[in-house]
Each structure stands twice: as structure tokens, then as C-alpha cells.
Structure 1
Amino acid sequence: MSIQIVVIFDVLPERLGTAVSAFRELAARTIEEQGALRFDAFLSAEHADTVVLVEEWADQYAIDQHMKEACVREFLSQVEGCFRSDPTVHRLSPLSA
């Protein structure tokens, strides 16, 4: 079974443009990685300055490899100081499990 994750970022309003650009680049590069089944970035329609990542990975190994990629290091460098707080990470489990 694949691993699904939702990550919510509270972005400083004055840094939203920088963050959105960095998320777009990260999403475009990540989806090309082996084991990345979905990696989409969204702006929340209900909460201003909130970016939501919706991810699906083949397995934990794919996630571990992703975290070692240059694009992740570049992303983290680009968004340094963009967030009000640490992101909220939701690793999802089906209700049927």
C-alpha cells in the first residue's frame, strides 16, 4: 500500500510569492523521482497564506530518497524564513485499516 501525506504550511504574507515559486519548482522536480506517485502543491481557498502539499509515495524508501535529493536542499534554502511556524504533517491511514 502506498503512503499518503498532507503537509500544511503557514506562510508569512510578505514571503508568499517566494514560497509559491519554491513549491512549484519542488513539485515539478519531485514528481519525476522514482516512487513519487503524487506531489501537488495547493493554496488554501479558506485560509490565506496557507500552502498544502498532497503527496503519495510508493514506500518509505522513496520518501527517504526524496529527502536526500538536491531539490529538497534547494527548496529548504529558498523558503528559509518564509513560515510562521513548523509545518503540520499528516501521514494518513485509511479508516478501513
Structure 2
Amino acid sequence: MSIEITVLFDVLPERLADTAEAFGDLCAATRREQGALRFDAWRSEEHGNVIVLVEEWADQTAIDLHMKEPYVADFLARTDGAFTRPAYVHRLRPLAA
């Protein structure tokens, strides 16, 4: 079974444009990874400064490898100080599990 994760990021209004660009670059690079089944960034319609990352991974090994990629470090550097609070991570599982 694959691993599904959503992550909510509350972005400072003055950092929204550059943060959205950083997410775009991260998504493009990540989608080329072997174990990345889905990696998309969305903007909330209800909360304009919230970016939602929707991820699906083949397994934990794929996630661990992803976190070691240089473009992840670049993303973290580019978005340093851009969020109002720590990211809100949801690792999902089916209701029946």
C-alpha cells in the first residue's frame, strides 16, 4: 500500500509569491523521483495564504530518499521564515484500517 500525506503551510502574505515559486520548483523536481506517485501543491480557496501539499509515495524508503535530495534542502532554504507556524502534516490511512 502506498503512503499518502497532506501538509498544510500557512504562508506570510508578503512571502506568498516567492514561496509558491519554490513549491513549483520542488514539485517539478520531485515528480521525477522513482517512488513519487503524486506530488502536487495547491492553494486553498477558503484561506488564501495556505498552501496544501498532496503527496503519494511508493513506500517509506522513497520518502527517506526524497528528504536527502539537494532540491529539498534548496526548497527549505528558499522558504526559511516564510511560514507563520510549523507545517501541519497529515499522514493518511483508510478509515477501515
TM-score interval (norm. to shorter): over 0.9
Quick one: distance in 1 between partners of 2:43 and 2:93? 23
Quick one: distance in 1 between partners of 2:28 and 2:3? 19
Listed as ranges, the gaps of 5+ residues in structure 2 are: none
1:61 maps to 61
Quick one: distance in 1 between partners of 2:88 and 2:80? 16
Quick one: distance in 2 between partners of 1:71 and 1:4? 21
Q: CA deviation at 1:48?
A: 1.6
Residue identity in the other structure for 2:16: L
Tell whether 2:14 aligns with 1:14: yes
SS of structure 1 residue aligned to 2:96: coil
Runs of 4+ in 1 over 6 A off after TM superposition: none
CA deviation map 1:52-96 (0-9, x unaligned)? 000000000000000000010000010011000000000001012
**Root-mean-square deviation over aligned CA pairs:** 0.4
Quick one: distance in 1 between partners of 2:48 and 2:41? 15
Structure 2 counterparts to residues 30-45 of structure 1, below 5 A: 30-45=30-45
Quick one: distance in 1 between partners of 2:20 and 2:51? 8
Q: How many residues align?
A: 97
TM-score normalized by the length of structure 1: 0.99
